[in-house]
Structure 1
């Protein structure tokens, strides 16, 4: 008798470095995984950019491999990816340009021209909840193409974010979703809850694909296929979904990686200029609700300073991973004003010769980093916040987690661990379309830290 096939959802998680495909069963356990890395290519200016053709071929190669495996019954497919990059499609659905890198230098004159035409830089940034970030404000990438290469721009039929381009490859449908529009694109007017005036004035609305909810699905274009295709999601917003579905009391999620992003889905108070200057912004959930967020470049700084401390004391950075918090060291360091600063970069001027050991130096750095993290998180904290969840690398750092709990005695602090939160978010958001089981309540493992 033939063995019953396992119902699964396939999720493509396309990061800047790694491109992954996961198959999750109905209990959200990973039953198959495939990872790839591609060499970058260059755009017409010689700047590095994603190889869009490699990504496209990889999607089809991966799907063909999965469909050949008889043990799996693919019920649905979804996509999650970094959001600040656009694909410009012609009449027949082919990309007209490279996938421009969001770190590409942006011409200041062009930026000023757009801001001045729409109330000035501050008013524009406040309305669109987008700190001024050049090409990272992906809407400005569209403006640049329109202004600098108008003949090519005239051939553009549809403009889609990268997650929706990946979805289009399988569904043949061209759509936009709220999570991609909402991530510092400078396209969305958060006060009016619609595209900003400049989008209409410049004739972009008809080229931007129609907006759908992030939990919508479409039939696939493959002949004879029965699986559903999700619209795709921006990665930071996708990682928030498991928490939104599991916890209904007000919380803040600190998602830690190269950037540590504090996300508060229960704070929709309008951004102030002061918050904007501190790198606060709004994201949008898959259903279009605003999420106030603040960002800190803490993971990057941790990498740099850990290496500096390790080199100075002639140890490896692996030593720091198993360090437990030493409260005597913390008490001693807390009296030193140098480690109570809230600027992340101040520690680089601290002379490491002042410390007796690598343990003391590392404690001093984490104390410094947590002070900066607390200041960043407080920018989005609401009075009704009951819990703070930390996921990613710092959730496994004992010193960081204990100091954070000490800094927020009025909140419950949890280290949250979930294998592949971003991919699981993209699977969960379309749960009702493929999964007959209830959403499990043990997807997120929590470890409580007492103040």
Structure 2
């Protein structure tokens, strides 16, 4: 009888930090390691990921994991940032840099041939975002002079999986993240994709491949992967509000078509691993918080971490604003006697924007629970103000260890999902 612990390895590849985790079958982390790589530049001098260094680290680390005598590897998967393609030849070798999705577009896309920008954006659930609409990266590459012969274009998580499976597959969560590839009205590629479809790997109908007793995932877009533990463990309909630099609310039970008004207010759609849409609204909340707290601390001195929540906050009124700019930014700090009163008003303004953003999802599809994870789930103002505004919902601060990596691990595990993966605190 083997005394080795069965484990699933997941490489969680962010823009800044690269991590690897080993999960046991109770989904406790039994090993983790982190790495950071300096960016390099592409042929135009624009900063980009050092793909060769990333690939070498992953291969070397995987070899190291397989040689650990205390573990038996039963699964491998990847969660990674989206909107990034790797171009490979027939042998799977990259033939171009891993271009940065922030690089300006050089080849205009013929939106007018496909209904114009507003309708194109609505049908593909992809705000017009330049190279963040990663399908347009592939379109632009076909117009480049002296472009190398490309056999397949693979989204980053799907490319990383191919290093171990030797198979080229596209995977639905990577296709569905503001790529401009998917027609959400028809549930298939948008007609324009016929221009590049010969460069795209076929869409896999299965989430993993079994090779020599190991389940290899095909890779996942990290935001969609982070939703998987909640879908597995929460029985009631819910909205998940994942907070950080961006506050992204995901409503996997809202199947209403995306409207132009929603799109104009930064609502879009992702795809779940089962191919169903996830309507999502975005707010640059963490960035607003960092920016305005720095402004207040500079003006008043002191630190917001020393402040205490008071029920008097409920009496304050938020300042009306769009989701695209901080409502508090135009307030005069001289109107406040101290940091505490200014921070109270700031949080009321910020949560006011968050309430507006959430209501875009909830108006057509009410839910029973609002689950908040990430940095703001530990902010008393944020949580109490949300619970006050949505008094008919069960509002919880949720804590899941490494949600994106955990979701990717669950996708390659055939056993029963433990029910204690999510820690909830009700407000």
TM-score range, shorter chain: over 0.9
Q: Which runs of 5+ in 1 are unaligned?
A: 220-224
Alignment partners' CA distance in 1, 2:351 and 2:3 = 50
Contact 1:178 1:214 in 2 (8 A): no
Q: Structure 1 residue aligned with 2:418, among 440, 443, 448?
A: 440
Change (3 A) 1:206 1:340: closer
In structure 2, the residue matched to 1:222 is: none
For each residue in 1:237-264, what CA deviation from the matched residue of structure 2 results, as whole angstroms up to 9, or x when unmatched? 0000011111232111111111111100
Q: Equivalent residue of 2:395, what SS?
A: strand
Q: What is the Cα-based RMSD across aligned positions, in Å?
A: 1.6
Alignment partners' CA distance in 2, 1:303 and 1:210 = 42
Change (3 A) 1:196 1:3: closer
Q: Equivalent residue of 2:197, what SS?
A: coil
Offset, 1:325: 2.0
User: After the TM superposition, which parts of structure 1 deviate over 6 Å for at least 4 consecutive aligned residues?
Assistant: none
Output aligned runs, 1:22-171, within 5 Å. 22-107=21-106, 110-111=107-108, 113-149=109-145, 151-152=146-147, 155-171=149-165
Contact 2:327 2:350 in 1 (8 A): no
In structure 2, the residue matched to 1:370 is: 351
Change (3 A) 1:287 1:383: closer
Q: Structure 2 residue aligned with 1:179, among 173, 183, 202?
A: 173
Contact 1:5 1:73 in 2 (8 A): yes
1:326 aligned to 2:307?
A: no
Contact 1:115 1:124 in 2 (8 A): yes
Contact 1:171 1:218 in 2 (8 A): no
Paired residues, number = 425
Q: Structure 1 residue aligned with 2:188, among 188, 194, 205?
A: 194
Change (3 A) 1:114 1:214: farther
Alignment partners' CA distance in 2, 1:419 and 1:312 = 36
For each residue in 1:6-62, what CA deviation from the matched residue of structure 2 results, as whole angstroms up to 9, or x when unmatched? 110000000001000000011110000000000000111111110000110010111
Contact 1:249 1:386 in 2 (8 A): yes
Offset, 1:214: 6.0
Alignment partners' CA distance in 1, 2:347 and 2:206 = 37
Alignment partners' CA distance in 1, 2:154 and 2:386 = 39
In structure 1, the residue matched to 2:203 is: 211
Output aligned runs, 1:5-24, within 5 Å. 5-24=4-23
Offset, 1:384: 3.2
Q: Which runs of 5+ in 2 are unaligned?
A: none
1:353 aligned to 2:345?
A: no
Output aligned runs, 1:283-322, within 5 Å. 283-316=270-303, 319-320=304-305
For each residue in 1:132-180, what CA deviation from the matched residue of structure 2 results, as whole angstroms up to 9, or x when unmatched? 111100001111111123x425x11011000001101111111011100
Q: Equivalent residue of 1:384, what SS?
A: coil
Offset, 1:350: 1.3
In structure 1, the residue matched to 2:214 is: 227
Q: Structure 2 residue aligned with 1:409, among 371, 383, 391?
A: 391
Alignment partners' CA distance in 1, 2:49 and 2:161 = 17
For each residue in 1:95-125, what CA deviation from the matched residue of structure 2 results, as whole angstroms up to 9, or x when unmatched? 1111111111123xx33x4201212111211
Compute the TM-score of the two structures, normalised by the length of structure 1: 0.91
Alignment partners' CA distance in 2, 1:412 and 1:143 = 45
Compute the TM-score of the two structures, normalised by the length of structure 2: 0.96
